[in-house]
């Protein structure tokens, strides 16, 4: 007997992703599943589910830890290169070496509290000032104006769960109502743009797994998921925010590099030219 909270994999997808059961419909024989490390809500027949064994779980945890560690390593390497450039810039412009850094501030709205906790922990490790709010996707559009006024962020992350409801026809992929939460994300982006119209003053990432990429960009997002309607990792929005936060304000963010900073890559994320939010100042306070 299946229960809410059970860890499962889908046999029809070669047991590729680890899910947790969040809702059961015994009459229809359907379970609603939430990805543990991908931002996906999916329906699955109970007959398609397989329990996650201890061996499966250990293997899955090791693989996810390796993915995260490799991404963090690449980010730290790129961060060191950027830091060396700033020191060279300081010398060239005859700044003293005691300059201080001021990366962009992040407001992260997430429809999933467990994902948000993971993201906030990584922001802290990356030295980014971030505030997070766990808000259901459907409520984000009405809450976003007040939150922007309260936190005054440089970077806004709008994410949670999503997914394509019916796959197949090209026309269906373009229909906004064929997605679990893309419409909520689109309305949230539009609400944010009513508060701040400039794409450089407020840089926005929006979307989750399989989200309507084109509609999110048209609504005013700088970066969005998912161009190929694939799954994105729970931490991908953090790595997008990190690149925005640490790109100097006098530079345009390298779109290719920002996508390379993520776990998923160009099939899962994309965007438009935007300016960074990183500033240097001097002198560094001794207090």
Give, for all 287 residues of the chain, the pLDDT tens digit. Answer: 899 999 999 999 888 789 999 999 998 999 999 888 888 888 899 999 999 988 888 888 887 778 777 777 777 777 676 666 555 555 555 555 677 889 999 999 999 998 999 999 999 988 899 999 999 999 999 999 999 999 999 999 999 999 898 776 666 788 999 999 999 999 999 999 999 999 999 999 999 999 999 999 999 999 999 999 999 988 899 999 999 999 999 999 888 877 777 888 889 999 999 999 999 887 777 78
Cα(70)–Cα(5) distance, integer angstroms: 29
- Compute the radius of gyration of the chain from its Cα atoms: 20
Interhelix angle 182-195/140-151, rounded to 10 degrees, is 40
Cα(243)–Cα(150) distance, integer angstroms: 24
pLDDT at 45: 93
């Amino acid at each position: 007997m299946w229960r809410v909270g059970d860890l499962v994999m889908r046999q029809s997808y070669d047991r590729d992703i680890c899910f947790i059961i969040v809702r059961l419909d015994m009459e229809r024989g359907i379970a609603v599943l939430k990805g543990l490390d991908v931002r996906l809500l999916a329906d699955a027949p109970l007959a398609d589910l397989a329990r996650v064994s201890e061996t499966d779980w250990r293997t899955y945890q090791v693989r996810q830890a390796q993915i995260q560690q490799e991404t963090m390593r690449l980010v730290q390497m790129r961060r060191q290169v950027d830091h060396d450039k700033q020191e060279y810039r300081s010398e060239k412009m005859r700044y003293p070496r005691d300059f201080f850094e001021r990366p962009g501030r992040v407001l992260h709205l997430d429809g999933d509290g467990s994902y948000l906790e993971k993201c906030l922990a990584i922001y802290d490790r990356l030295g980014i000032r971030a505030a997070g709010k766990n808000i259901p996707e459907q409520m984000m559009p009405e809450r976003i104006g007040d939150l922007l006024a309260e936190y005054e962020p440089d970077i806004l992350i709008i994410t949670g769960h999503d997914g394509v409801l019916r796959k197949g026809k090209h026309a269906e992929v373009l229909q906004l109502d064929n997605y679990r939460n893309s419409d909520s994300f689109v309305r949230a982006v539009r609400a944010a743009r009513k508060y701040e119209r400039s794409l450089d003053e407020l840089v926005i990432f929006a979307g989750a797994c399989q989200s309507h990429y084109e509609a999110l960009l048209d609504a005013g997002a700088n970066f969005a998921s998912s161009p190929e309607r694939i799954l994105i990792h729970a931490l991908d929005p953090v790595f997008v925010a990190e690149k925005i936060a640490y790109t100097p304000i006098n530079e345009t963010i390298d779109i290719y590099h920002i996508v390379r900073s993520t776990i998923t890559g160009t099939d899962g994320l994309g965007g438009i030219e935007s300016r960074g939010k990183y500033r240097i100042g001097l002198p560094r306070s001794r207090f």
